[in-house]
Amino acid sequence: MFNLILFGPPGSGKGTQSEKLMARYGLKHLSTGDLLRHEIANQTILGLEAKSLMDQGQLVPDEVVIGMISTALDNNPLANGFLFDGFPRTKAQSVALDKLLEDRNEAINVVLALDVTEQELVKRLLNRGLTSNRSDDVNEDVIRARIAEYHKKTSAVAEHYQQFGKVVLVPGEGTVEEIFESLSGEIDRRKAA
Ligand code: ADP
């Protein structure tokens, strides 16, 4: 198994690159944002509760997303490996993920962190808001709130995995193909090791 966290602020290109990495490496894509939007679309209680937080650019509670990921791991016993996108987003989520994997005799192999300037992030997200139907991409205040949440809580995830030497910073600006090749290079090097 090869388990990878694709890491970076909102708008850094995790979704785009996940699609391509999934196709090349046969990994199972687990995006907590997608799982939450699925709950919202199905109007579940969980979805209704998550929506108001998401629309303010705030994180949903740790236990909610940890529960979703735990279920997803159980539902995919035959996966080649997992690509975690948008999770973990807090230190507590990182610790919980490590434990969930350890219980399955697995671990995170690498954290690939996409590096993009804040100015570029806001530009991309506002642009995505024109077509994405995502209510959290339309308003610049909500976008800034999501980036602030990232700095306040999510940067701790990188610190957590840095202590195990698992974090690699990858330039997140350039063409989609260029970024994909940089990410693939890092994965290939580790798979060969
Ligand atoms: P983006 O990275 O572009 O902000 P996501 O689709 O990953 O988009 O997440 C959208 C929203 O869903 C977040 O702003 C947050 O409210 C919620 N969310 C997604 N993943 C998590 C998580 N791991 N922990 C807490 N909240 C989450």
**Burial of 93 per CB tally in 10 Å (0-12, 13-18, 19+):** buried
Q: What residues contact residue 167 under an 8 Å CB cut-off, 6+ apart?
A: 7, 110, 111, 113, 158, 161
Tell me, what amino acid is at 8?
G
Which atom in ligand 1 lies closest to the alpha carbon of residue 137?
3
Q: What is the pLDDT of residues 135-174, one digit of tens each?
A: 999 999 999 999 999 999 999 999 999 999 999 999 999 9
Q: What is the pLDDT of residues 48-65, one digit of tens each?
A: 999 999 999 999 999 999
Residue-range domains of the chain with CATH = 2-27+79-192 (3.40.50.300)
User: If you average pLDDT over residues 24-41, what whole number do you get?
Assistant: 97
94 Cα–ligand 1 center, Å: 15
Examine the pLDDT at 83 and tell me if it is beyond 90.
yes
Here the tokens at position 136 are 């959290």
Give the residue, out of 60, 93, 97, 155, with the most ligand 1 atoms within 8 A of its beta carbon, to mutate for a pocket test.
Answer: 60
Name the average pLDDT for the chain.
96
Specify the pLDDT at position 131.
94
181 DSSP β-pair partners: none
Percent share of the chain, pLDDT over 70: 100
pLDDT of residue 163: 96
- Cβ of 84 below 6 Å from ligand 1: no
Q: What is the pLDDT of residues 102-145, one digit of tens each?
A: 999 999 999 999 999 999 999 999 999 999 989 999 999 999 99
pLDDT at 69: 98
